[in-house]
Structure 1
Amino acid sequence: MFRCALGLTALVLTLVSVSLADITTSKAIAPEDEKAPPRIQLAILLDTSNSMDGLINQARTQLWKIVNELATTERKGCVPHLDVALYEYGNDSLSAESLHIRQAICFTDDLDRVSEELFGLTTNGGQEYCGAVIGKAIDKLEWSPSGDDLKMIVIAGNEPFSQGPIDFHGSCSESISKGITITTIFCGKEQVGIDTGWKEGAELAEGEYLFIDQNEPIVTIPTPYDDKLSKLSIQINNTFLFYGDQKAAREAAERQSAQDTNAESAAPAAAAERALFKSSPQYQRASRDLIDALAAGSVKLEDLKPEELPTELRKLSRDDQKKLIKERSEERKRIQKEIRALTLQRQEFLTKATETTGAESKNTLDTAVLDAVRKQAERKEFTSPGTE
């Protein structure tokens, strides 16, 4: 099943580029006082035992590619709200009392924080308790009560699915009873995953069973557009006006910059995908960025105390504050537009290069997750432009 997905990466790249090129400022996530947008909730459960360094590296390299796929989806013309959570399991550095499980981050729409946690993961021996980590993800995360929302758990590992004190049959059955599907990704041979319960777990929770080679190198094709996209990704940071608690605002700015660096260090392609995500409506910072907060209607400029204002605004008159906010907002839109235009050219280059060389990753985490996401999204009537 998995190996039949030849050409999937090129298809995904094309879909991402077309859909994000069509995004305009009017297609923003609805503010809270309007009808709530549909939601996509993705909980990623990663085995961080000794043999999983390759899996973690694939996740780091391909995070932005995966979330770009989610950023292209719509339901009835409405852009969904995207939340991602991350768990690690099977690591001896985690206590036995916790069953060697840690919630790295709960559901959040701040993908910079998810990236930060991914790059902070380390591997170390351990017992991999799939039933237990699934149970914790179900019980501890705040899942949407709506049956219309897309709710997914993706779990990846390489030990028998039945390990540990919690029966995976019960965890998987509870999951689907709450409308949460489970996609299992076995790191190894297809039949071994079937024999050790990974396929059964997916079937119980109406998800997908996939298998990957966690040590397969990610195929990346350099393009003439990578460097410019990376520079634009950094340049757009200068348009953000972080407000509120100054310690938290400073940390948000530092995190944004650090994740640019992490993406660049992972691969030029990862930096390009991150730039693309930063040009999408899903990359909102309404809780910290004043421009996004004003656009969302979640804050009023006149309600902020002087110490809550961004540093750049504190010594300005109210009229000059509004002028600077407008200038930054317009500059951001200009950069986002340029990113999307360059991304289209980059995708065309990649499609042609892949057709010519046949070079693409066929058995890696990103391809598996994208395959599963697309199938699950279709069942909930989420579509990507050009696929309807």
Structure 2
Amino acid sequence: MKNLKNIIGLSLMVLGIGTIYGCDIKPKKDDKTKLIVTAIAPEVDQPAKQYVKIALLLDTSNSMDGLINQAKSQLWDIVNEFTYAKCGNNNRPDLKIALYEYGNDKLSSREGYIRQVIGFSDDLDEISEKLFSLTTDGGEEYCGEVINTSLEQLEWGKNADDLKMIFIAGNEPFTQGKLNYRDAASQAKEKDVVVNTIFCGNYEQGVGSKWKDGAITTGGEYMAIDHNRQVVHIETPYDDIIIKLNSKLNQTYVSYGALGASKVQTQAKQDNMAYDVNEEVAVKRAISKSSRLYKNSQWDLVDASDDKEFEVSKLKREELPKELKDKSEKEIKDYILKKKSERTQIQKEIQDLNTKRKAYIAKNQTEEKGELENAMIRAIKNQASRKNYKWD
């Protein structure tokens, strides 16, 4: 009887372990013997986090100015959607974005007129900076080749529960270039990466030039958008307050290390760049900065203090901001805690205002959202549901 109780207890423990990892909450069809062996000597290295990995492949040829402008405008909407994403086990996934440009004469012909602008990153300021740096010029657009390049260069990982997606946007035939897009699609399927295609032009023209086929081969979605359409923004009574709170939020960042000073400048510059596009884009960026996805532990002491290995005693005095250089360890800790408390309160205020803002927009929305935003978010949610993601 005692042995029987031990076996039952061990089996229950294993079943519990099975729900800890991954967004896939469906039980594995292993027999009891294998379950017991796994519990005693686990051999599978399960990742501690789940990721959403999105690679944006943007055509930057002459005719794509409208596409780039839409991308600049809608980046923060897409980021903000993932603030509310949950895996099937209720964990929150981390978001990583990569950016490629292709079809631009300024790029190397040897590289197929393709450039990795930024690899997978969760540094939202840097992603914004790179996106705003894009300019257009004429060139050859090789869709199959840019998909293949992103698959080979980026670290997609092997966790089957990660959500891995490519969004490629352009307006030339999908068949251009030496590398067949079907070969690239086959490689994507092997890596569990879904390819979504966004044709900038007439829907049927995109179908005829194989953009739809390029998507459905991997289980992705084909979309056609008017990339030159001006995005309609709805002003709300909460926008000015959120922008003012964003300025206060910036004052809670405590820079340190070699990156500190330049990153503070980048943060402020990207705020200004967003505002230059449209006041609402600046609001959306501020909302992103109040979310869990805006993390800067590499240069900000407040975010860094959340890391388990963080110790004030290990900080180098010469890498501290001038207001902390002559402070004791206790004074530094107290300062960080004070700034953290201020930040938490400001972020909560922004999130609360955003709830009211979204309700106001929903009530007053007479036109559809930005076409690029609509297309991407619809595809993201459809594909996320296949891996038990949900939104709250």
Using the size of structure 1 for normalisation, the TM-score is 0.87
Distance 2:384 2:309 in 1: 29
CA distance in 1, matches of 2:84, 2:288: 10
Describe how 1:119-130 pairs up with structure 2 within 5 A.
119-130=132-143
Moved over 6 A (4+): none
Deviations 1:23-59 (A, max 9, x none): xxxxxxxxxxx96221100000000000000000000
Question: Quick check: 1:233–1:274 contact (8 Å CA) kept in 2?
Answer: no
Which residue of structure 2 aligns with residue 316 of structure 1?
Answer: 327
Check if 1:381 corresponds to 2:388: yes
Q: CA separation in 1, counterparts of 2:367 and 2:209?
A: 32
3-state SS of paired residue (1:103): strand
CA distance in 2 between partners of 1:298 and 1:252 (Å): 22
Extract unaligned runs of 5+ from structure 2. 1-45
> Which of residues 217, 232, 236 in structure 1 aligns to 2:230?
217
Q: Match for residue 280 of structure 1?
A: 291
How many pairs does the alignment contain? Answer: 346
Partner of 1:369: 376
Q: CA shift at 1:234, angstroms?
A: 2.3
Q: Residue type matched to 2:260 in 1?
A: A
Q: Paired residue for 1:58?
A: 70
Moved more, 222-231 or 112-121: 222-231
| Cross-structure match for 1:296 | 307
Q: Structure 1 pair 35/46, CA: closer, same or farther in 2 (3 Å)?
A: closer
Instruction: Check the 8 A contact 1:279/1:340 in 2, yes or no.
Output: yes
Distance 2:309 2:76 in 1: 27
| Deviation of the 1:217 alpha carbon | 0.7
* Residue 200 of structure 1 pairs with residue 208 of structure 2: no
* Equivalent residue number for residue 13 of structure 1: none
The one-letter code of the counterpart of 1:361 is K
**Structure 1 position 116, deviation (Å):** 0.4
User: What is the aligned counterpart of 1:360 among 355, 360, 368?
Assistant: 368
Structure ID, larger Rg? 2
Partner of 1:138: 151
Out of 98, 102, 126, the position equivalent to 1:113 is: 126
Aligned to 2:323, the other structure's residue is in SS state helix
Which residues of 2 match residues 1-388 of structure 1 at below 5 A?
36-75=48-87, 76-245=89-258, 248-354=259-365, 358-361=366-369, 364-385=371-392
Q: Which moved more, 1:303-312 or 1:184-193?
A: 303-312
**SS of corresponding position for 1:152:** strand
> 1:312 offset after TM fit, Å?
2.7
Check whether the contact 2:47–2:159 (CA below 8 A) recurs between aligned residues. no
Contact 2:288-2:294 within 8 A present in 1 as well:
yes
* Structure 1: distance between partners of 2:315 and 2:168: 42
SS of the residue 1:239 aligns to:
coil
- Contact 2:223–2:375 (CA under 8 A) maintained in structure 1: yes
Please tell me whether the aligned partners of residues 312 and 332 of structure 2 are also in contact (alpha carbons under 8 angstroms): no
- State the alpha-carbon separation in 2 of the partners of residues 345 and 372 from structure 1: 26
SS at match of 2:229: coil
